[in-house]
Amino acid sequence: MRFATPLSLLLATLLGGCATGGDTMQSSVDALMRDYTGDVPGAAVLVLRDGEPLVRRGYGLADLEAGTPVTPDTNFRLASVSKQFTAAAIVLLAQDGKLSLDDSVRKWLPSLPAVAEPITLRHLLTHSSGLVDYEDLMAPDATGQVHDIDVLHLLEREHRLYFAPGSSYRYSNGAYALLALIVGKASGRDFATFLRERIFQPLGMAHTVAHENGISTVANRAYGHSLVDGKWTRTDQSSTSAVLGDGGIYSSIADLVKWDAALYDDRLLSDASRADAFTLHTPIHDEADVDGYGYGWRIHGDVLWHSGETIGGRNVIVRWPKRHFTVVVLTNRNDPEPYRLALKIAELYLPDSPSQ
């Protein structure tokens, strides 16, 4: 992708400390976010350069019923943006010597059928396992919420794969549900506790949580909404919303500043572990702006990114590590998906680059 920056905005960026330039940039971001402003489901926007927030702002409402505005501390359900945390938990356990990425999934979850024996943890991380989509195995009339352990039980009865493990790519939510269970088995703690003790607390992400109804709470929570017959309607939970490993983490842009910082040094993952996680392991040939998949990250040239979609919410994080630049857009509405919006925000700050 190419970013063309208007000359006036580029000059404002180069002048950095000038308040007028900052105001111009903020106004430009506000203009891009106009559809999220007012008494409508909103968004939180974070723009980071060298770890410093250039934009850290909320738009619209986190809860239409209560009229609660979105702020930088509003916690959104990250949906599949959660996968980078699940992957990090597995890599941490590998660093600890508690498991190997080349372990068979059946070493940790022996109730899976024999067809799963060739599947390794690395295959699960990179969506190259061939596992059948668990959503397709659920009863059509199911109304109760599915949890990670229920995903395992669904897959225990499935004696086929889409392809031989490692031979192709197919995005798999079920793979990340299994990884969450493996985190629990290998660590001796449940997945949510491991994340809290080994990732969220050490990084100071005080309000980020893998949410379990009746066990934990979500502070400053944004509730999902969908546009139905021209009106915004609360649509916050579906039958798969309680699966933690593939999408059950809630976080805010205030906490994601700290997560982004940890992806540049060894405070959490070693240099070798981060390099491995950000390496293209599985090529992808049929998705826009994606060359392949790492561990919880889509990879496109020098860009690392991931989107998340849940009932009533769409999110994205886009990182340019070599430039120490990141854009995060979290929303509590079903549409539109915010990836292109994040790129438009990035265009305001990044100079033109043929590599993008």
Catalytic residue list: 80
Query: 């299994």: which residue's tokens?
Result: 178
Question: Which secondary-structure segment (H or E) carries 228?
Answer: strand 225-228
DSSP label of 187: H
Distance CA 33, CA 342 (A): 10
Three-class secondary structure of residue 64 per DSSP: coil
Rounded to the nearest 5 degrees, what angle is found at the Cα of 91, between the Cα atoms of 112 and 289? 90
**The token pair that represents 261 in the structure block:** 């910082």
Residue 67 burial (CB count, 10 A) = 9
Residue 15 in tokens: 């002048």
84 Rama class: left (phi>0) / alpha (psi -120 to 50) / beta: alpha
Fill in the DSSP letter of residue 351.
P
